[in-house]
């Protein structure tokens, strides 16, 4: 069985810097971590490898330092990794990103399962998984919280819904986006990490030509959506301090909530 | 788009070869040659001194989308029950339609769901695209995507709004890819740009620190998801819609997933990001006993209990209840901050809340700056009083 895991390196910082020209995040100089949901995706793939036997390939699109995320994936048990790295990929929206990832997966060739995290903490879009599945024309299951069984032809999973879950059978090949309930990610194995940091590390770097896309199809230029402005919202609120005895202040508060336009005004 | 060498003018100087980022130019016998690794990036064109490189690369133009009109809302239903978010989006769509002077249409997909049309009409749908089929009884990604693709191709909407529910967040990206459209996730504001007559989609980015306005100039429909509760439901007086029945061509074999079982669980609001009311506690609450008291208030309000980072570090509350930069970002209707001073890292996680109430005995605590209403006092006095008045009110 061949498994691909899509991994994203995300900034771990309280300082947000934006490019005033494009409105996109300036990623240079920020400490990067593996997107939390993606750790669960790596773990899921590695567990299948351990139980059923599989070759696990981690794929990431990002700047050169995103190789750190792939090193960690190998440290956790992935067999090889591919970094999609090209200035032409920069500034991509989810359309262009999913195209880039899909072309890379097609180049990898055979795959039975693709795992990705449900969403990334920097963009919160949760779009890439479904879009990659559609580019590749394969089945998908999102919000996966449990994997029940895997055969050569299908995988049965539990998907979290708002008020419970559903059990779904998915034909292979399939793409699964996973949530934190699925598993507890392991720590990277130190020896594997050291190997992954050497010259012989099984990590390849591919650019636009390697995956056969033209630069106008990817990155900012290939994107359908563009940021036209960013602004810091004014978070200050009226800050009305309610005064009086504790009975009075609570009564005043509930009165204001009752008269407000909150959809929950009826509670008070 | 391609790049080619005008051989008569090429002197084999290799400048283009050096400029090419993709090693796609070879120079043999004093003439450059473009290989199939070329990505049409154009770097070589600028490097050539002899004007020996031809290209048909043109700057990106905004296509003519005048044949795409109308604002569509995906009317999510499960077991014959409409999700509120669809009705909320119809309300917003009606508001946008005034600026565009275009119709609002609902897309209703399922099995035996025609009975829901009246509700959609009452909430603002001028038209309803009604798609019924046995294969659409349960939501399945590919079946719904096939239907949406066929509808979009046939009727060419300008805008398509989808609720950011579990179903909507599964469906919307797949549809967007299928129809070749851009998609903006979880917008909190939608408006029409008066000059370009395009949809301006505003969403919080990076933990709500920054708002980004996004446009979708190069594809149609302009697709957006919106979280439940962000827009407001409205009812309209005329309330009659034109129903367009659409028969899709569907095959079970193409759908590739089967729903084996749907298990409903009694909702325990442990995921604080989905709670309508959050009661959050910080240092001022004190200990576990204080949090038991906050839990009681949260239960009375049908909400969830959350906390600051310090409380997690002290082992009083689990990590999944932490709000802030290193915890969760929440946007409830009502956020009640109890004994929280309001460090920037915490505020980053809760600023998107609709109404913020701060209770703290330090009148200088920064949390008051971002609160709608503040009560200066001890949490251990005020919260029990809130519990008392809520219990007496009899509304619950």
User: How close is the nearest chain B Cα to the Cα of A178, in Å?
Assistant: 12
- Please identify, among B255, B282, B309, the residue that sits at the C-terminal boundary of a domain: B255
For residues B176 and B75, state if they share a domain: yes
Find where tokens 């204080």 sit. Answer: B290
pLDDT digits (tens, 9 = 90+) for B181-200: 999 998 888 999 999 999 99
| Residue A19: inside a domain | yes
Band of residue A22 on the pLDDT scale cut at 50, 70, 90? low
**What's the mean pLDDT in A192-212?**
92
A133 Cβ contact list (under 8 Å, min separation 6): A114, A139, A140, A174, A175, B174
What length is written for chain B? 396
| Residue B50: inside a domain | yes
Is B177–A130 a contact, with Cβ atoms under 8 angstroms apart? yes
Q: Which of A231-235, A243-247, B182-186 has the weakest average pLDDT? A: A231-235
CB of A206 within 8 A of CB of B37? no
pLDDT digits (tens, 9 = 90+) for B120-136: 999 999 999 999 999 99
State residue B396's pLDDT score: 37
For residues B40 and B111, state if they share a domain: no
Tokens representing A177 are 């986006």
| Residue B235: inside a domain | yes
Q: Is B391 on the interface with A (CB under 8 A)?
A: no
Band of residue B320 on the pLDDT scale cut at 50, 70, 90? confident
Comparing B371 with A266, the larger pLDDT belongs to B371
For residues A259 and A217, state if they share a domain: no
Instruction: Evaluate the omega torsion of the peptide bond into residue B221 and state whether it is cis, within 30 degrees of 0.
Output: yes
Asked if the model's pLDDT at residue A14 lies above 50, the reply is no
Nearest chain A residue (CA) to B325: A14
Q: Is the dihedral of CA B380, B382, B386, B392 positive or negative?
A: positive
For residues A48 and A172, state if they share a domain: yes
**Helix/strand/coil for B351:** coil
pLDDT digits (tens, 9 = 90+) for B86-102: 999 999 999 999 999 99
Q: Report the CATH number that the domain containing residue B194 is assigned in CATH.
A: 3.40.50.620
Q: Which of A211-220, A252-261, B44-53, B340-349 has the weakest average pLDDT? A: B340-349
The burial of B135, by beta-carbon neighbours within 10 Å (0-12 exposed, 13-18 middle, 19 or more buried), is given as middle
Asked if the model's pLDDT at residue A207 lies above 60, the reply is yes
User: How close is the nearest chain B Cα to the Cα of A74, in Å?
Assistant: 25
Partners of residue B351 in chain A, C-beta under 8 Å: 233, 235
| Residue B263: inside a domain | no
- Please identify, among B255, B282, B317, the residue that sits at the C-terminal boundary of a domain: B255
Range of the domain at A243: 236-268
Is A140–B174 a contact, with Cβ atoms under 8 angstroms apart? yes
**What's the mean pLDDT in A2-14?**
85
Tokens representing B112 are 């035996």
- CA atoms of B116 and B110, how far apart (whole Å): 11
State residue A261's pLDDT score: 81
For residues B302 and B380, state if they share a domain: yes
For residues A216 and A240, state if they share a domain: no
Q: Which of B219-228, B232-241, B243-252 has the weakest average pLDDT? A: B232-241
- CA atoms of B217 and B219, how far apart (whole Å): 6
State residue A163's pLDDT score: 83
Q: How many domains is chain A partitioned into structurally? A: 2
Q: Which of residues 245 through 274 in chain B touch A, CB cutoff 8 A?
A: 256-265, 267, 274
For residues A210 and A267, state if they share a domain: no
- CA atoms of B77 and B171, how far apart (whole Å): 13
For residues A55 and A77, state if they share a domain: yes
Suggest the residue from B149, B198, B212 to mutate for an interface test with chain A (most A CBs closer than 10 A).
B212
State residue B156's pLDDT score: 98
Band of residue B325 on the pLDDT scale cut at 50, 70, 90? low
Range of the domain at B34: 3-55
pLDDT digits (tens, 9 = 90+) for B152-167: 999 999 999 999 999 9
State residue B272's pLDDT score: 87
pTM of the model: 0.83
3-state secondary structure chain A: CEEEEECCEEECCCCCCECCCCCCECCCCCCEEECHHHHHHHHHHHHHHHHHCCEEEEEEECCHHHHHHHHHHHHHCCCEEEEECCHHHCCCCHHHHHHHHHHHHHHHCCCCEEEEECCCCCCCCCCHHHHHHHHHCCEEEEEEEEEEEECCCEEEEEEEECCEEEEEEEECCEEEEECHHHCCCCCCCHHHHHHHCCCCCCEEEECHHHHCCCCCCCHHHHCCCEEEEEECCCCCCCCEEECCCHHHHHHHHHHHHHHCCCCCHHHC
For residue B236, give Cα distances in angstroms to B88, B92, B99: 13, 12, 17
| Residue A227: inside a domain | no
DSSP element (H, E) containing B3: strand B3-5
| Residue B18: inside a domain | yes
Q: Which of A52-66, A195-209, B311-325 has the weakest average pLDDT? A: B311-325
**What's the mean pLDDT in B202-216?**
78
State residue A113's pLDDT score: 98
CB of B76 within 8 A of CB of B82? yes
State residue B278's pLDDT score: 96
CB of A130 within 8 A of CB of A21? no
Asked if the model's pLDDT at residue B394 lies above 50, the reply is no
For residues B100 and B21, state if they share a domain: no
pLDDT digits (tens, 9 = 90+) for A113-150: 999 999 987 778 999 999 999 999 999 999 999 999 99
B121: closest CA among B134, B140, B108? Answer: B108
**Helix/strand/coil for B278:** strand
For residues A215 and A242, state if they share a domain: no
Find where tokens 């980053």 sit. Answer: B348
pLDDT digits (tens, 9 = 90+) for B267-279: 554 678 878 999 9
pLDDT digits (tens, 9 = 90+) for A28-83: 666 789 999 999 999 999 999 999 999 999 999 999 999 999 999 999 999 999 99
What length is written for chain A? 268
**What's the mean pLDDT in B214-234?**
90
| Residue B205: inside a domain | yes
Q: Report the CATH number that the domain containing residue B33 is assigned in CATH.
A: 3.30.70.20
State residue B395's pLDDT score: 44
B258: closest CA among A268, A176, A154? Answer: A154
Q: How many domains is chain B partitioned into structurally? A: 3
ipTM at complex level: 0.87
DSSP element (H, E) containing B88: helix B84-100
| Residue B63: inside a domain | no
DSSP element (H, E) containing B202: strand B199-205
CB of A117 within 8 A of CB of A40? yes
């Amino acid at each position: 069985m061949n498994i691909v895991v899509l991994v994203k390196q995300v900034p771990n910082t309280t300082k947000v810097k934006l490019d005033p020209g494009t409105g996109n995040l300036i990623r240079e100089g920020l400490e990067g971590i593996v997107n939390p949901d993606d750790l669960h995706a790596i773990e899921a793939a590695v567990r299948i490898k351990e139980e059923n036997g599989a070759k696990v390939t981690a794929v990431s699109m990002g700047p050169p330092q995103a190789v750190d995320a792939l090193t960690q994936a190998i440290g956790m048990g992935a067999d090889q990794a591919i970094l999609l790295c090209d200035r032409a990929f920069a500034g991509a929206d989810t359309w262009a990103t999913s195209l880039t990832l899909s072309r890379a997966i097609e180049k990898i060739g055979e795959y039975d399962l693709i795992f990705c995290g449900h969403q990334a903490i920097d963009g919160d879009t949760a779009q890439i998984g479904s879009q990659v599945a559609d580019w590749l024309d394969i089945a998908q299951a999102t919000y996966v919280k449990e994997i029940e069984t895997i055969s050569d032809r299908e995988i049965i999973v539990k998907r979290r819904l708002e008020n419970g879950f559903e059990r779904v059978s998915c034909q292979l090949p399939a793409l699964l986006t996973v949530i934190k309930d699925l598993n507890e990610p392991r720590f990277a194995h130190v020896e594997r990490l050291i190997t992954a940091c050497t010259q012989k590390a099984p990590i390849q770097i591919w650019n636009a030509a390697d995956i056969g896309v033209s630069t106008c199809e990817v990155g900012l230029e290939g994107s359908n959506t563009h940021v036209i402005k960013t602004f810091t919202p004014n978070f200050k609120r009226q800050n009305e301090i309610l005064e009086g005895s504790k009975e009075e202040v609570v009564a005043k508060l509930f009165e204001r909530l009752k008269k407000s336009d909150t959809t929950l005004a009826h509670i008070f | 788009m391609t790049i080619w060498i005008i051989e008569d003018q090429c002197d084999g100087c290799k400048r283009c070869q050096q400029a090419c980022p993709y090693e796609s130019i070879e120079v043999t016998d004093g003439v450059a040659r473009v290989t199939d690794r070329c990505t049409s990036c154009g770097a070589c064109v600028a490097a050539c001194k002899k004007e020996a490189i031809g290209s048909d690369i043109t700057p990106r133009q905004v296509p003519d989308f005048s044949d795409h009109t109308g604002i569509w809302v995906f009317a999510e239903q499960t077991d014959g029950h409409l999700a509120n978010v669809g009705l909320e989006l119809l309300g917003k769509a009606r508001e946008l339609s005034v600026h565009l002077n275009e119709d609002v249409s609902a897309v209703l997909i399922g099995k035996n769901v025609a009975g829901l049309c009246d509700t959609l009409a009452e909430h603002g749908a001028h038209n309803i695209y009604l798609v019924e089929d046995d294969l659409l009884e349960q939501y399945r990604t590919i079946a719904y995507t096939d239907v949406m693709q066929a509808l979009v191709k046939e009727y060419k909407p300008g805008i398509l709004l989808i609720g950011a529910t579990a179903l909507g967040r599964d469906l919307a990206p797949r549809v967007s890819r299928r129809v070749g459209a851009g998609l903006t996730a979880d917008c909190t504001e939608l408006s029409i740009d008066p000059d370009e007559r395009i949809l301006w989609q505003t969403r919080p980015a990076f933990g709500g620190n920054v708002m980004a306005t996004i446009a979708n100039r190069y594809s149609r429909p302009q697709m957006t998801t919106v979280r439940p509760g962000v827009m407001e439901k409205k009812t309209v007086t005329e309330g009659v819609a034109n129903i367009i029945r659409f028969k899709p061509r569907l095959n079970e074999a193409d759908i590739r997933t089967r729903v084996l079982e749907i298990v409903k669980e009694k909702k325990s609001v442990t995921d604080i990001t989905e709670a309508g009311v959050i009661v959050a506690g910080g240092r001022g609450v004190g200990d576990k006993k204080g949090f038991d008291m906050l839990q009681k208030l949260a239960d009375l309000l049908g909400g969830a209990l959350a906390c600051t980072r310090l409380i997690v570090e002290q082992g009083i509350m689990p990590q999944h209840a932490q709000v802030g930069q290193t915890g969760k970002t929440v946007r409830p209707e009502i956020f009640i901050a109890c004994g929280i001073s309001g460090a920037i890292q915490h505020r980053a996680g809760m600023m998107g809340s609709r109404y913020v109430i701060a209770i703290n005995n330090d009148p200088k605590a920064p949390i008051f700056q971002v609160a709608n209403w503040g009560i200066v006092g001890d949490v251990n006095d005020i919260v029990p009083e809130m519990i008392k008045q809520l219990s007496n009110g009899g509304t619950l």
